[in-house]
Structure 1
């Protein structure tokens, strides 16, 4: 019992906080949960743990917008790239190279934090989407398969398409939902989706949803830019720690 309590507190606290971040800024649940869980367990176990909370919260985000069909028709080549890349890269996180996976997770978090702090604003012309979408999807999938992090380069790319705010939130939900399904498929393909961890992932859904509700309440009371700055600085420190741990 004494060994179980710290584990339960770790899972509950991680997903409560990750849900809070997502509730405030609309993303970050897989990123935060992978980073924090990666300090206490192998990345492949952390990836399996986040599947149910990530899937449910992202489907919620996906279905909240009004233009699902139009976005799917526009972004389906990118989504195909995400699936192919994730299945191709999932052997890394599911393999025996735990240090490499930890270092990769840390590097992905650091890169995402730097991009966020620099507030880079790219602009992809409509004519380039035909080839840029599948390429970005494939690279995002490879990063997802190797580290369990869905955001690089998908988030900056989607932000460069000139979508309205509601459409962007829904597009992010679509990308994260597809990434979650693809990651689950990749882990299952390599026999790295144990039933026990999947059950724990189901229990982690409750604090994740509670965190999202709390984040929605907090969003009306704290400037999103202030929270975003703290979020990216925290990710930078967390990613640096994981990167150092993976290469040391």
Structure 2
């Protein structure tokens, strides 16, 4: 694949992923990594998420008035996520990439199922001291291996009963810290090259264009109808990635 072809694919993938995020409020990591994995493989896709991920989530994490409260309440989750991203990426660098890519397919399908079914369960505050480090560890390992931060982090935080404004800021903090940790882990395992870093930086441009377009359309159309179509498409992508990986493994 030529540099021009790769740049076109990367730009289109991040435009689509950011468009989805602007329209429904989530989806940048799973959509971009899912699409790019189908074309350039999982390790390269993970490296390319770095700059767009930080650029779209840093402001979200710093805006609002709940930063100290969020850090004080969930710092064990954040700490374990950051620490265990490194061994997760080490597994990615040592294991047959088809096994890890199959895991990505499973996580995409799990994300679709949980988002679509929207189960109503609530985590009690007294359980947080145990769940924070345990789920943070799992989140770090999975994000280090697959580059997606939605399972179990998003599911967990949606169940702790936070107000929407605080939840949005919490997601921004989690995604920013996870992306920074992923960048350091990929670099430490020689999976983040200068070429990929430059292309990731360039991808910020179509990311913000897609984000603006999605936000514009959200104010003029039905979000719920698009959400169903998006989840169905992401489910098909998850099945494709999982099926292709299993076909190679088996």
Pick the TM interval, shorter chain.
over 0.9
Segment of structure 1 superposing worse, 58-67 or 168-177: 58-67
| Residue equivalent to 1:74 | 73
| Residue equivalent to 2:88 | 89
| Residue equivalent to 1:144 | 143
Q: Residue 55 of structure 1: CA displacement? A: 0.7
In structure 1, the gaps of 5 or more residues are none
Which TM-score applies when normalising by structure 1?
A: 0.95
Q: Residue 137 of structure 1: CA displacement? A: 1.0
| Residue equivalent to 2:100 | 101
| Residue equivalent to 2:220 | 221
User: How many correspondences in the alignment?
Assistant: 247
**In structure 2, what is the Cα distance between the partners aligned to 1:228 and 1:66?**
29
| Residue equivalent to 2:26 | 27
Q: Residue 149 of structure 1: CA displacement? A: 0.8
| Residue equivalent to 2:243 | 244
**In structure 1, what is the Cα distance between the partners aligned to 2:60 and 2:18?**
12
Q: Residue 45 of structure 1: CA displacement? A: 0.6
| Residue equivalent to 2:35 | 36
**In structure 1, what is the Cα distance between the partners aligned to 2:59 and 2:229?**
25
SS in 1 for 2:40: coil
In structure 2, the gaps of 5 or more residues are none
**In structure 2, what is the Cα distance between the partners aligned to 1:225 and 1:148?**
27
Q: Residue 121 of structure 1: CA displacement? A: 2.2
Runs of 4+ in 1 over 6 A off after TM superposition: none
In structure 2, the CA distance between the partners of 1:121 and 1:85, relative to structure 1 (3 Å rule), is farther
| Residue equivalent to 2:63 | 64
Do the aligned residues in 2 keep the contact of 1:122 with 1:156 (CA within 8 Å)? Answer: no
1:203 aligns with 2:202: yes
Q: Residue 159 of structure 1: CA displacement? A: 0.4
